Amino acid sequence: MALKQYLQFKLSQKLSPQQIQLMKLIQLPTQAFEQRLKQELEENPALESGKETADEFEDKYDEFDNSNDDYNDNETIEAEDINVDDYLSDDEIPDYRTQANNYSSDDEEKNVPYAAGTSFTQHLINQLNTFRLDDHERDIAEFLVGSVDESGYIRRSLSDIVDDLAFTQGIYTDEATVEKTLMKVHQLDPPGVGARNLQECLSIQLHKKEKHPDVELACNIIDKAFDQFTKKHYKKLLQKFDITEVQLKDAIEEIERLNPKPGGSYAGNNKIVEHIVPDFAIKIVDGQLELTLNGRNAPELHVSREYSDMMKGYKASKDKSKSQKDAVMFIKQKLDAAKWFIEAIKQRQQTLFVTMSAIMHYQEEYFLTGDERKLKPMILKDIADEIEMDVSTVSRVANSKYVDTPYGTKLIKEFFSESMTNDQGEEVSTREIKKILETVIEDEDKRKPLTDEKLAAILKEKGYPIARRTVAKYREQLDIPVARLRKKI
């Protein structure tokens, strides 16, 4: 087979590196954006934060403005000679000469200290020190404690634990010894820790409670009729234990007070809590909606005066050398990068504000009342057409941004929903239907919860003709169990 060469003309669209970075900036929420801004300030010495007069800002740009340059490393600079070393000499000052210890004791501490504490595993091991255990038992007990997950469970079989003890720890034992040691782990605090399943966890907690008829009945229900209890077969429980509904209700209340995840109750686990910082704020002023962008999304940035002066000095100079040209090329690249980053930040601010403003006006009735039933059907394309931007841009704004409203902090994505047609031919939001469904379930008789079929019939009477399987889908999205599991005595 012979090789051939031929030419082919093809049109294609490609995003420039600057456009890609701009899309990433738009997608970042406030806290991540602040980290990106901090990183850019550290990496680009030509970029500075803080206030600067507009005249100085424009003068700097006029001196080195070259929008057609795409950071070409092979570009030659046309300029008259200057000794650039005069402007770069500060870089040669040793670090030790710039250090100072002239801080007063009342200066504000900028570093946030890390929280120190005892881990959940160490908390359990510390309790083992109060038990009388020989070396063999202690090694097994510490291994069992190390197998406890963050919920407080040991989700492994005894045979697997025996094998692991032999292969990884060199401890040879049998299942009976491990189970005997596990019973001692069950005595640790919080109650229920080290359980292998939910039934054992609840049973451990109940047996640690003070003896009482309701507690004893609850113990029997969990130990002898756990399957019937979880399926809420209350009639079978009444017959099995020959009790009244009042007695069963009191026993169930005892069970409901238990903690199904004992590990989560340990306050010293030092989990990192993520705080949500709203990107926008919507207020009602004199009956009108007022939108503001979080000030942390609008930093004050400007180009370094020192670096722009270096460019001016180089252009006014007469003497040149290759090393000076290389140094000035580096300076120019940093200045161009700083200029682009400032423009990208402005474009990000404008894109965020325009997009959220369109969403606010589209859902004006909701933002004025706070009634979720007032939410209109809205998809990404509706807003994209309104602001004449791409759907992907709207998606980037909606998926990761929060807005502070008079009714709480909301994820912007939550305002988007599909539409359905009611019996009057009007398009309504699926969020409206879910809200009505949630209200109907809250008001139902818990002794006889409504099935999905009955819920569908009620919604149809209210003017929303949807199928039973659609009701089931909405109910699952609302994290509401089936009728049998909503049943109460």
Residue 355 is predicted with a pLDDT of 92
| Dist CA 329 CA 326 (whole Å) | 5
**Could you give phi then psi for residue 439, rounded to 5 degrees?**
-65, -40
| pLDDT at 105 (0 to 100) | 44
Using an 8 Å Cβ cutoff, are 226 and 199 in contact? yes
Inform me whether the pLDDT recorded for 268 exceeds 60: no
Average pLDDT over residues 458-467: 83
> 């510390």: which residue's tokens?
126
Q: Rounded to whole angstroms, how far apart are CA atoms 230 and 222? A: 9
Provide the pLDDT confidence category of residue 126 given band limits of 50, 70 and 90. Answer: confident
* Residue-level pLDDT at 356: 92
pLDDT of residue 109: 43
The per-residue pLDDT for 282 is 92
How far is the C-alpha of 87 from the C-alpha of 307, rounded, in Å?
Answer: 9
Q: In terms of pLDDT, which residue wins out, 252 or 87?
A: 252
pLDDT reading at 108 higher than 60: no
What is the share, in percent, of the chain residues with pLDDT greater than 90?
4
For 148-157, the pLDDT digits (tens) are 888 888 888 8
Q: Which of 205, 199, 193 is nearest to 266 (CA)?
A: 193
User: 50-64, 122-136, 257-271: lowest mean pLDDT where?
Assistant: 50-64
Q: What is the pLDDT of residues 207-216, one digit of tens each?
A: 888 888 888 8
pLDDT for residue 99: 43
Better-predicted residue by pLDDT, 168 or 83 = 168
Structure tokens that stand for 423 in this block: 């019996």
* Cβ proximity of 299 and 25 under 8 Å: no
pLDDT band for position 89 (50/70/90)?
very low
The helix (run of H) or strand (run of E) holding residue 47 is strand 47-49
pLDDT beyond 70 at 295: yes
Least confident of 109-123, 205-219, 457-471: 109-123
119 Cβ contact list (under 8 Å, min separation 6) = 268, 269, 270
User: Domain locations in the chain?
Assistant: 19-64+277-416, 120-268, 421-489
If you search the block for the tokens 């998926």, which residue do you land on?
A: 399
Decide if 155 contacts 196 (C-beta within 8 A): yes
Q: Name the residue with higher pLDDT: 73 or 419.
A: 419
Higher pLDDT, 267 or 18: 18
Helix H or strand E segment including 49: strand 47-49
Q: Which of 42-46, 178-182, 364-368, 402-406 has the lowest mean pLDDT?
A: 42-46
Which amino acid, 462?
A: K
> pLDDT confidence of 94, banded at 50, 70, 90?
very low
Q: Report the percentage of the chain scoring pLDDT > 70.
A: 78
Instruction: Work out the average pLDDT over 418-443.
Output: 76
- Number of Cβ within 10 Å of residue 76's Cβ equals 8
pLDDT band at residue 106, thresholds of 50, 70 and 90?
A: very low
> What beta strand segments (E) does 269-342 contain?
280-285, 288-293, 301-303, 316-317
pTM over 0.75: no
What's the sign of the alpha-carbon dihedral 5, 10, 13, 16?
Answer: positive
> For 404-430, what is the mean pLDDT?
78
Identify the pLDDT of residue 77.
39
Mean pLDDT on 291-295: 87
Check whether domain 421-489 has CATH 2.40.128.130, yes or no? no
Residue 235: pLDDT band by 50, 70, 90 thresholds?
Answer: confident
Q: What is the mean pLDDT of residues 360-368?
A: 90
The per-residue DSSP string of 395-444 comes to: HHHHHH-EEEETTEEEEGGGG-B-EEE-TTS-EEEHHHHHHHHHHHHHTS
Average pLDDT, the chain: 77
E strand spans, 370-474: 402-405, 408-411, 419-421, 427-429
pLDDT value at position 357?
92
Q: Is the pLDDT of residue 354 over 60?
A: yes
Flag whether pLDDT at 362 surpasses 80. yes
> What tokens does 171 get?
């401890």
Residue 88 confidence (pLDDT): 40
Of residues 87 and 202, which shows the higher confidence score?
Answer: 202
Q: DSSP state, 403?
A: E
Contact indicator for 83, 319 with CB cutoff of 8 Å: yes
Q: What is the pLDDT of residue 265?
A: 67
Return d(Cα 393, Cα 352) in angstroms, integer.
10
